[in-house]
């Protein structure tokens, strides 16, 4: 028996069973590929062994290469161990449960047979990490299931369920019995003498029409719309085209070259960072997440407005029964209609079946009494953003909710401790700040008050994950972390208009940077009036508050955005296409003249840096204040809350590529030119010389998420 800590090999009734045991996900870390090769050599030299089974211990088959090893001197690649499977003189049966992803699926593809449990999921998600498969996946998969299906799978990077994989011919059978290992051993014995060995590399599952150049050109054209900033998806198309144009070995060489070109590129580094940053955000420094955190199996939402209805839908979509409480009968009816319309639209668009809609609607109850929600595990308040209203709601919740229930507020800025003071259980109170539309946006900002217990934060984040959200913790301050860090970007871009920049120029710079939509076009979508009242309140409260004259003027003119047919742009009836509007340039010119501000040209780089560095500076102040655990948490919020281009890693990751020293110098120069709003943060000053912006709240450099 060949026992290593991460690859076990034992012979069961003439079948060599190779078990990968590399927690937590059986990544192909150092020693795993070598262990597989050793086991194959041992079994192929053993006359007592007729065939092999390759299986994973724990919850997964193999989750792919160890992403932490990228960019470092790695041991042998998947291409070598996959080749060893291919070349085995005795058949190898892959027995897949949980996930077989990336190099994991590549190993399965190099086996001669593939069985899977019903709930197994397979995929080649490498493009989501800015690379292409590097273990022969594009070549074997294309030969096995054909170029069209392979293009769909590899270019999207999506996970595929076992049933679909079976239908495509990627799997040989689904084993619907508890003992997958035993079934695989029996199968291995049944095919042990079958020859020739069926190898994916020997297949050619396509006809002339499937491989026409137009097939690949059409895929490239489709990519230019939403992936024009990326390289990996286009390289994936090239690799699959190489599979139908060249021999297996030449196609393999092509894939290896593509992988090497991408692995060290900025896109791969940014996407790797984002992958780990998202997982780090789920952790609370110094707090070990206990496995037995009480789950949220039932929920309530207070307030049937847009946000409340969206949150209720998010719960129902996640399979969590939810009661939507609304005191006003009219508002409750509007809430019901909003929920029904949202689901009906999804069914109409084909993104939801009628049956699934009915199941979700069955999970949403509509109530008007607090007593009706007393036994829920969690309640999210989504009422009017005023402290007296919050106090009224939380005192009622405190009176009726069962002990240990999560008492959560969807407030976007109000002080959590002040809200918690209306209860006798501040330890159970936290913010669960969803982003509109709550049933669509993935970010949930979990806000900790001074009295919030760590378990409350962990349970709220676990609840958020169960709702399909990506969660990150924020400290309680005005705007918390996401909106507080983004506010300077919004004000700086409005101020640049006074100096001569135009909305369309700034939008173009930001979409060229990778945003799906420019910030002014987004503002037209959300409505210019949304932030107008807040600006007026701040101006009345703070005489030094820097007014934003241009947006104020447009709101006062009734130009609220798409909903009024004009805002920053002009819109034709029934058409959301933004058209530059001379009237807006007229307002900008008038404001500039009133302010006596000289108009000038802007370079794209100055626009990009003025817009983003204003927020980088604020993010450093947030870290200084201890309102975020890590810089990478702020990045996660920007990725999932504001559509920051994922291949750039996040706001702070991007700033780190600019360099803390240059960032600090530029902000210092703008502080001299524009005044106190650009005063550099102390933390930025401290690290300007040699440090990295990717720090955690303790001031340490936050290594885990950096690739």
Among the listed residues 35, 43, 56, 64, the single contact to ligand T1G using CB under 6 A: 64
Helices 248-263/232-245 angle, 10° precision? 170
**How many of the other CB atoms lie within 10 Å of CB of 287?**
12
Beta bridge partners of 367: 325
Which one, 76 or 266, has the nearer CB to ligand T1G? 76
- By CB under 6 A, residue 115 contacts ligand T1G: no
Our CB check for ligand T1G shows the closer of 287 and 337 to be 287
What are the backbone angles phi and psi of residue 643, rounded to the nearest 5°?
A: 70, 25
Q: Quick check: bond before 669 cis, omega within 30?
A: no
| Interface positions, 335-394, toward ligand T1G (CB under 6 A) | none
Q: Is 78 in the site for ligand T1G (CB under 6 A)?
A: yes
Tokens 């292409």 correspond to: 132
If binding is defined by CB under 6 A, does position 68 make contact with ligand T1G? yes
Residue from 32, 85, 96, 101 in contact with ligand T1G (CB under 6 A) = 101
Among 1, 3, 5, 24, binds ligand T1G (CB under 6 A): 24
Residue 465 or 508: which CB sits closer to ligand T1G?
A: 465
Per the residue annotation, which of 3, 34, 41, 106 is the catalytic one? 106
Catalytic residue among 3, 34, 41, 126: 126
- Judged by CB under 6 A, the residue of 9, 52, 61, 99 near ligand T1G is 99
Q: Torsions phi, psi of 175, nearest 5?
A: -105, 100
With beta carbons less than 8 A apart as the criterion, state whether 11 and 17 touch. yes
Residues composing the chain? 707
Q: How far is the CB of 106 from ligand T1G (least distance, A)?
A: 6
* Residue 71 contacts residue 174 (beta carbons within 8 Å): no
Smallest separation, CB 271 to ligand T1G (Å): 10
Write out the binding residues for ligand T1G, residues 275-334 only, by CB under 6 A: 276, 279
Of 226, 86, 240, 97, which is closest to residue 162 (Cα–Cα)?
A: 97
Q: Which is nearer to ligand T1G, 276 or 366 (CB)?
A: 276
Answer yes or no whether residue 656 interacts with ligand T1G by CB under 6 A: no
Q: Does residue 531 belong to the site contacting ligand T1G (CB under 6 A)?
A: no
The residues, ordered by sequence, that sit 6+ positions from 644 with a Cβ below 8 Å of its Cβ are: 515, 635, 638, 650, 651
In order of 55, 158, 296, 549, 608, the CA distances from 569 in angstroms are 58, 36, 44, 17, 21
Using CB atoms within 10 A of its CB, is residue 362 exposed (0-12), middle (13-18) or buried (19+)? exposed
Q: How far is the CB of 572 from ligand T1G (least distance, A)?
A: 43
Peptide bond into 374 cis (omega under 30): no
Rounded to the nearest 5 degrees, what angle is found at the Cα of 544, between the Cα atoms of 542 and 548? 95
Which residue stretch of 22-30, 640-648, 650-658, 660-668 sits at the interface with ligand T1G (rule: CB under 6 A)? 22-30
Among 35, 103, 680, 707, binds ligand T1G (CB under 6 A): 103
Rounded CA separation 664/620 (Å): 11
Site for ligand T1G in 120-159 (CB under 6 A): 125-126, 129, 133-135, 137
Beta-carbon contacts of 697 under 8 Å, excluding residues fewer than 6 positions away, are 285, 623, 626, 628, 629, 630
Minimum CB distance to ligand T1G smaller for 236 or for 652: 236
Among 102, 310, 518, 649, binds ligand T1G (CB under 6 A): 102
For the CB of residue 251, give the shortest distance to ligand T1G in the complex, in Å.
Answer: 14
Interface with ligand T1G, residue 243, by CB under 6 A: no
Q: Pick from 288, 433, 302: which is nearest to 376 by CA? A: 302
**Quick check: 67 binds ligand T1G (CB under 6 A)?**
yes
For the question of residue 106 being annotated catalytic, the response is yes
Q: Is 445 in the site for ligand T1G (CB under 6 A)?
A: no
Spatial distance between the Cα atoms of 363 and 340, rounded to a whole number of angstroms: 12
β-pair partners for 379 = 300, 407
Coil, strand or helix at 419: helix
Stretch that binds ligand T1G, among 94-102, 109-117, 173-181, 237-245 (CB under 6 A): 94-102
* The one segment of 64-72, 321-329, 518-526, 646-654 that binds ligand T1G by CB under 6 A: 64-72
Helices and strands (H, E) in the chain, number of each type? 28, 22
Three-class SS state of 594: helix
Cβ contact 379:299 at 8 Å: yes
Which residues have CB under 8 Å from 641's CB, separation 6+? 435, 441, 443, 445, 482, 486
- The strands making up 378-381's β-sheet, listed across from edge to edge, are 364-367, 322-325, 299-302, 378-381, 406-409, 429-434, 443-448, 470-475
65 binds ligand T1G (CB under 6 A): yes
Give the binding-site size for ligand T1G (rule: CB under 6 A): 24
Question: Cβ 254 to ligand T1G, closest distance in Å?
Answer: 14
Instruction: Give the nearest distance from C-beta 128 to ligand T1G in angstroms.
Output: 6
Residue 126 bears catalytic tag: yes
CB of 121 to ligand T1G, least distance (A): 8
Among 33, 50, 66, 623, binds ligand T1G (CB under 6 A): 66
Is 62 within 8 Å of 23 (Cβ atoms)? no
For residue 59, the minimal CB distance to ligand T1G (Å) is: 7
**Across-strand partners of 447?**
431, 474
Residue 84 has which token pair? Answer: 């060893």
CB of 134 to ligand T1G, least distance (A): 4
Minimum distance of ligand T1G from residue 570's CB (angstroms) = 44
Contact flag: residue 707 with ligand T1G (CB under 6 A):
no
Q: Is 63 in the site for ligand T1G (CB under 6 A)?
A: yes
Q: Min. distance of Cβ 157 from ligand T1G in angstroms?
A: 8
**CA 634, CA 644: separation in Å to the nearest integer?**
11
The residues annotated as belonging to the active site are 106, 126
Contact footprint for ligand T1G (CB under 6 A): 24-25, 27, 63-68, 78, 99, 101-103, 106, 125-126, 129, 133-135, 137, 276, 279
């Amino acid at each position: 028996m060949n026992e290593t800590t991460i690859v076990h090999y034992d012979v069961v009734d003439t079948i060599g069973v190779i078990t990968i045991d590399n927690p937590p996900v059986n990544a192909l870390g150092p020693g795993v590929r070598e262990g597989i090769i050793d086991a194959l050599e041992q079994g192929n030299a053993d006359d007592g062994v007729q065939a092999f089974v390759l299986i994973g211990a724990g919850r997964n088959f193999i989750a792919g290469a160890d992403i932490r090893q990228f960019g470092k001197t790695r041991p042998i690649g998947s291409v070598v161990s996959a080749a060893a499977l291919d070349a085995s003189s005795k058949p190898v049966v892959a027995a897949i449960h949980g996930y077989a992803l990336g190099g994991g699926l590549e190993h399965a593809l190099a086996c001669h047979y593939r069985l899977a449990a019903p709930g197994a999921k397979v995929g080649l998600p490498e493009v989501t990490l800015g690379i292409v498969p590097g273990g022969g996946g594009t070549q074997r998969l294309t030969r096995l299931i054909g170029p069209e299906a392979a293009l769909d799978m590899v270019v999207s990077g999506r996970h595929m369920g076992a049933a679909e994989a079976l239908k495509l011919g990627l799997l040989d059978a689904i084993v619907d019995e508890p003992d997958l290992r035993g079934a695989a051993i029996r199968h291995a014995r049944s095919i042990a003498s079958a020859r020739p060995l069926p190898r994916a590399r020997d297949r050619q599952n396509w006809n002339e029409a499937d491989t026409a150049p137009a097939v690949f050109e059409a895929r490239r054209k489709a990519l230019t719309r939403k992936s024009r900033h990326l390289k990996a998806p286009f390289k994936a198309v090239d690799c699959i085209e190489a599979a139908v144009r060249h021999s297996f070995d030449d196609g393999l060489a092509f894939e290896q070259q593509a992988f090497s070109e991408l692995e060290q590129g900025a896109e791969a580094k940014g996407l790797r960072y984002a992958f780990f940053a998202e997982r780090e955000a789920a952790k609370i420094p110094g707090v070990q997440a206990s496995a037995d955190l009480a789950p949220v199996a039932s929920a309530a939402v207070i307030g049937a407005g847009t946000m409340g209805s969206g949150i209720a839908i998010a719960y129902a979509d996640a399979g969590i029964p939810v009661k939507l409480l609304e005191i006003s009968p009219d508002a409750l009816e509007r809430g019901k209609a909003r929920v029904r319309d949202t689901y009906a639209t999804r069914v109409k668009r084909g993104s939801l079946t009628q049956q699934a809609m009915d199941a979700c609607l069955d999970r949403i109850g509509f109530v008007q009494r607090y007593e009706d929600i007393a036994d829920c595990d969690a309640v999210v308040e989504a009422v009017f953003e005023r402290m007296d209203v919050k106090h009224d709601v939380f005192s009622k919740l405190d009176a009726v909710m069962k002990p240990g229930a999560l008492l959560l507020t969807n407030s976007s800025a109000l002080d959590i401790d002040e809200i918690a003071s209306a209860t006798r259980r501040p330890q159970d109170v936290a913010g669960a700040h969803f982003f509109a539309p709550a049933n669509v946006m993935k970010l949930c900002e979990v806000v900790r008050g001074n009295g919030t217990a760590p378990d409350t934060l962990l349970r709220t984040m676990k609840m958020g994950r169960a709702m399909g959200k990506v969660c990150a913790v924020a400290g309680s301050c005005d705007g918390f972390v996401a909106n507080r860090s983004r506010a300077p970007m919004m004000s700086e871009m409005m101020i640049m208009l006074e100096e001569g920049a135009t909305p369309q120029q700034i939008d173009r710079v930001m979409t060229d940077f990778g945003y799906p939509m420019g910030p002014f076009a987004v503002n037209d979508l959300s409505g210019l009036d949304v932030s107008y009242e807040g600006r007026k309140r701040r101006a009345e409260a703070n005489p030094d508050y820097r007014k934003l004259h241009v947006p104020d003027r447009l709101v006062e003119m009734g130009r609220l955005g798409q909903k009024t047919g004009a805002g920053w742009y002009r819109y034709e009836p029934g058409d959301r296409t933004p058209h530059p509007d001379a009237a807006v340039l007229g307002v900008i010119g008038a404001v500039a003249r009133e302010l006596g501000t000289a108009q000038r040209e802007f370079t794209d780089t100055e626009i990009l840096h003025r817009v983003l560095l204003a927020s980088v500076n604020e993010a450093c102040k947030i870290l200084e204040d201890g309102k975020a655990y890590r810089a990478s948490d702020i990045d996660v919020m920007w990725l999932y809350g504001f559509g920051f281009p994922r291949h750039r890693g996040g706001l702070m990751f991007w700033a780190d590529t600019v360099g803390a020293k240059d960032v600090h110098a530029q902000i210092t120069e703008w502080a001299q030119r524009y005044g106190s709003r650009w005063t550099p943060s102390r933390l930025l000053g401290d690290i300007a010389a040699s440090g990295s912006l990717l720090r955690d709240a303790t001031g340490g450099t936050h290594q885990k998420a950096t690739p």
